[in-house]
Chain A
Amino acid sequence: AQRVTQPEKLLSVFKGAPVELKCNYSYSGSPELFWYVQYSRQRLQLLLRHISRESIKGFTADLNKGETSFHLKKPFAQEEDSAMYYCALETGANNLFFGTGTRLTVIP
């Protein structure tokens, strides 16, 4: 069965410090992974997806099939990055399985 694990419920970093939000997955098929973000009082929205290998708002995420990980990274955190971040695994037919989320707080 598929599973998405985000081990940290809360993560606090200082502004300008690097940040890494961890995500591990378990899936027997070929994984398609996403990071979704929810800023305060806003709806859930897509941040980035592994297949596009893009950098959004300074964030990147590399799919490591050997470690079954898809960690989200940013070299220099900004205050506006404070939000709830969800790692999600697509298993086909647009079915998304979400991790439990990590609340990131960037301290000024």
Chain B
Amino acid sequence: SAVISQKPSRDICQRGTSLTIQCQVDSQVTMMFWYRQQPGQSLTLIATANQGSEATYESGFVIDKFPISRPNLTFSTLTVSNMSPEDSSIYLCSVDGGQRSSYNEQFFGPGTRLTVL
């Protein structure tokens, strides 16, 4: 499986500020994904981050609010901009299994727990 790390693991932020979450993978991957898990809710895909092209956002998520960078095949960042308490969630990075998986398995990072006051 892939080794995925996220920074920070958790943070408490003030309303109106922005936070950038980093995701690092131990090997090159084609696709990286960002999910959100709000309290008591399921995981929801925010966007797919592709190296060399703009991220693809799911319905309900926009680039101005969640800008994503993918400078290379092992790293991505998600920024939560102009935060409000409703953005309090766990944010997870995942990657496609590629050659490590026979099927379309995704490997998940440990998540970043964000609390917005």
A residues near B (Cβ < 8 Å) are 4, 32, 34, 36, 43-46, 49, 51-52, 86, 90, 93-101
Contacts and interface: CB of A to CB of B under 8 A. Distances in A.
Contact of B31 (A94, A97, A98, A99): A94
Nearest to B4: A43
Where chain B touches its partner, the secondary structure class is strand
B111 A95 contact: no
A101 B44 CA distance: 12
Contact of A43 (B43, B102, B110): B110
Contact of A94 (B33, B42, B44, B111): B33
B87 interface: no
A36 B42 CA distance: 12
Interface in B21-49: 31, 33, 41-45, 48
Contacts of A97: 45
Interface residues of B, number: 24
A99 B48 CA distance: 19
Given A86-B43, A99-B42, A44 B92 contact: yes
Pick from A43, A93, A100 the residue with the most CB of B within 10 Å. Answer: A43
A21 to B, nearest CB: 14
Contacts of B33: 94, 96
